[in-house]
Structure 1
Amino acid sequence: MDTRRLGYFVRVVDVGNITRAADSLHITQSALSQHISALESDFKTRLLERTGRGVQVTASGRSLYRYAQGILRLEKAARIDLRADNDAPAGLVTVGLASYSMAPGVAVPLLRAVRERYPNIHLQLIQNLTVVMSQAVLFGQVDMALIYDPGYVKGVVFDQVLKEEFHLVTSARTPRIGSRGDTVTLKEASRLDFIMPNELHTVRRVTDAAFHAAGLHCSVVAEVEPDTVLRDAVVNGLGATVLPLTAAREHFAPEEVRVYRFADTRLCTAMSLCTPEVQPLSHAAALVADLLRTLLLDASVPGRRAASA
């Protein structure tokens, strides 16, 4: 199979339009259409449906898209590995980071550590993917992912690295809730409007479950995926949200928000490092995983964090 065609197909899906994809690839539209037709002929199935506004991916196309991303990543990893000095650890290592968690906060420290110790390792840090992160690990789109532990998922393993406790976050512009300082009850919080990720996200599921168990309703007025949009919406008083304390500190300046601990329940879940169950990590990926575990351990132990500063 010509992996170049897979790359063309991925670009068309990402852009959603053959003409714009052809422009970005610096080839003609007719040539790109021929490559897509050749792929459809190879797989004996329709991958894209042409519409008046562009293209729509079929079910078969979505499956190929997932596998194509993994194949292209492995090809890139092989090229980097074969060009490198064999005496030093080298290769492409892709790490997925869960949104609305402390995971993005470890990105820069991890990048710094990899650059200092293993300069021949090419690190990719990814937060948003078209599939959930555990599936991305399974499909080979990423080597590992730092995510909320969803429980058993066939084909991957979860190494629990720390626990996250969720807090209520409101704009500093809005009145204080209750009279207990930095704590709030679920009933008090249920009177607020919330801005949250979609129903599939762990933060949303844990929050909804806590309110439901208390016989209360969590009024979600908007679902927001990009972290930066949620940050701006909360700061401007458009709604409250629920985040781990580490994520709240990462996203907001202290003067921008008020952060409350729940007085009558503990909303928490585990953060885990997700890796493939059968396929072993490459040498480079194993080294990055060890660095990541060390950074997370330092971040979770105040004394070690102070000593390393």
Structure 2
Amino acid sequence: MDTRRLGYFVRVVDVGNITRAADSLHITQSALSQHISALEHDVKTRLLERTGRGVVATASGRSLYRYAQGILRLEKAARIDLRAGGDTPAGLVTVGLASYSMAPGLAVPLLRAVRERYPNIQLQLIQNLTVVMSQAVLLGQVDMALIYDPGYVKGVVFEHVLEEDFCLISSARLPPVTSRGDTITLKEASRLGFILPSEVHTVRRITDAAFHAAGLHCSVVAEIEPGMVLRDAVVSGLGVTVLPLTATRAHFAPDEVRAYRFADCRLHTAMSLCTPEVQPLSEAAALVADLLRTLIRDQPGTAGRREPPPTSSYTIKDTVPRMPNSDLP
């Protein structure tokens, strides 16, 4: 299978239009169409279908697209590694970071550490993919991913690195949402409008499960995936959200929001470093994984380190009353 044609195919799917894809690749439309036809002949199936606005991938095309991303990434990593030569660690390392978590807050520190210690390693940080992060690891689209632990997934390993407790987050521009101080009950929260990610996201599933277990309804006024959009919406007072305190510190300035622990249940999940089960990490990827583990251990509030006093906007009691059997998966 010609990797150049795979790259052309991925570009067409990303752009959704053969003419625009050809322009971005600096080849003619007819030449690009010939490459796509040759690829379809090679795999013996139709990969694209035309629509009124351009082209979209068929079911077979979507499947090939996922594998092609991993193949092209490995080819790029090999070229970088071979060009570097010598004994200096080198290569392309791709790290997936779960949205609505503490993971994006580690992006710049990780990039800085890699640049300082391993300048020949090219780091690629990814948040948004067409598949879930654990599947991206399995397909070879990323080397590793720092994600909420989804439970058993065949073909990948989850290394527990951190326990995350969720808080209700509201805008500091509005009056406090409860008279209870820095805690809130699920019943009180059920009267509020929530801005959350879609139903497939771990944050949403945990939030919905807590309300359902209490016989209450979580009123979702908007579903938002991009983190910055959610941030701006919450700060503007358009709704409340649920986030780990570590993610709140990463996304919001201390005076922008108020954080409340749940008084009658504990919403929590594990953060895990996801890696392939069978395929070993490259030397470069293993070094990046070690740096990531170190950065996580050095985060305020993690094991082995005392958390510094929080700012006034994040003042939350250390002890949270818990109901029997209130832990959610």
**Unaligned stretches of 5+ residues in structure 2:** 309-329
Matched residue, 2:130: 130
Compute the displacement of 1:41 (Å).
Answer: 0.7
**TM-score normalised to structure 1 length:** 0.97
Compute the displacement of 1:88 (Å).
Answer: 0.8
CA distance in 1, matches of 2:240, 2:21: 39
Q: Does 1:198 align with 2:216?
A: no
SS of 1:175's equivalent in the other structure is coil
CA distance in 2, matches of 1:302, 1:82: 39
Matched residue, 1:153: 153
Compute the displacement of 1:220 (Å).
Answer: 0.8
Compute the displacement of 1:253 (Å).
Answer: 1.1
Compute the displacement of 1:173 (Å).
Answer: 2.1
Matched residue, 1:235: 235
Matched residue, 1:101: 101
Amino acid at match of 1:86: G
Matched residue, 2:27: 27
Matched residue, 2:225: 225
Matched residue, 2:312: none
Greater helix share, structure number: 1
Matched residue, 2:313: none
Compute the displacement of 1:195 (Å).
Answer: 0.8
CA distance in 2, matches of 1:288, 1:302: 21
Are the equivalent residues in 2 in contact too, given 1:298–1:304 (CA < 8 A)? Answer: no
Are the equivalent residues in 2 in contact too, given 1:298–1:305 (CA < 8 A)? Answer: no
Matches within 5 A, 1:51-200: 51-200=51-200
Matched residue, 2:266: 266
SS of 1:138's equivalent in the other structure is helix
Are the equivalent residues in 2 in contact too, given 1:101–1:247 (CA < 8 A)? Answer: yes
CA distance in 2, matches of 1:127, 1:147: 10
CA distance in 2, matches of 1:127, 1:45: 31
Matched residue, 1:38: 38
Matches within 5 A, 1:263-302: 263-299=263-299, 300-301=302-303
Range 169-178 or range 237-246, more displaced: 169-178
Amino acid at match of 1:185: T
CA distance in 2, matches of 1:237, 1:38: 53
CA distance in 2, matches of 1:232, 1:26: 38
Amino acid at match of 1:150: P
SS of 2:271's equivalent in the other structure is strand
User: Structure 1 245/305 Cα, relative in aligned 2: closer, same or farther at 3 Å?
Assistant: closer
**TM-score normalised to structure 2 length:** 0.91
Compute the displacement of 1:61 (Å).
Answer: 0.5
CA distance in 1, matches of 2:292, 2:158: 14
Amino acid at match of 2:216: L
Are the equivalent residues in 2 in contact too, given 1:170–1:239 (CA < 8 A)? Answer: yes
| Structure 1 ranges of 4+ moved more than 6 A | none
SS of 1:265's equivalent in the other structure is coil
Range 279-288 or range 174-183, more displaced: 174-183
CA distance in 2, matches of 1:86, 1:10: 33
Compute the displacement of 1:77 (Å).
Answer: 0.5
What is the percentage of aligned positions where both structures have the same residue?
Answer: 84
Are the equivalent residues in 2 in contact too, given 1:182–1:259 (CA < 8 A)? Answer: yes
Residue-by-residue CA offset, 1:255-289 (whole Å, 9 max, x unaligned): 11111111111100000000000000011111111
CA distance in 1, matches of 2:306, 2:239: 36
CA RMSD of aligned residues (A): 1.2
Matched residue, 1:256: 256
CA distance in 2, matches of 1:252, 1:35: 47
SS of 1:211's equivalent in the other structure is helix
CA distance in 2, matches of 1:241, 1:37: 47
Residue-by-residue CA offset, 1:147-167 (whole Å, 9 max, x unaligned): 000000000000000011110
Are the equivalent residues in 2 in contact too, given 1:22–1:29 (CA < 8 A)? Answer: yes
Amino acid at match of 1:108: V
Are the equivalent residues in 2 in contact too, given 1:173–1:236 (CA < 8 A)? Answer: yes
Are the equivalent residues in 1 in contact too, given 2:170–2:177 (CA < 8 A)? Answer: no
CA distance in 1, matches of 2:194, 2:177: 14
CA distance in 2, matches of 1:118, 1:305: 30
CA distance in 1, matches of 2:191, 2:307: 38
SS of 2:89's equivalent in the other structure is coil
Matches within 5 A, 1:204-215: 204-215=204-215
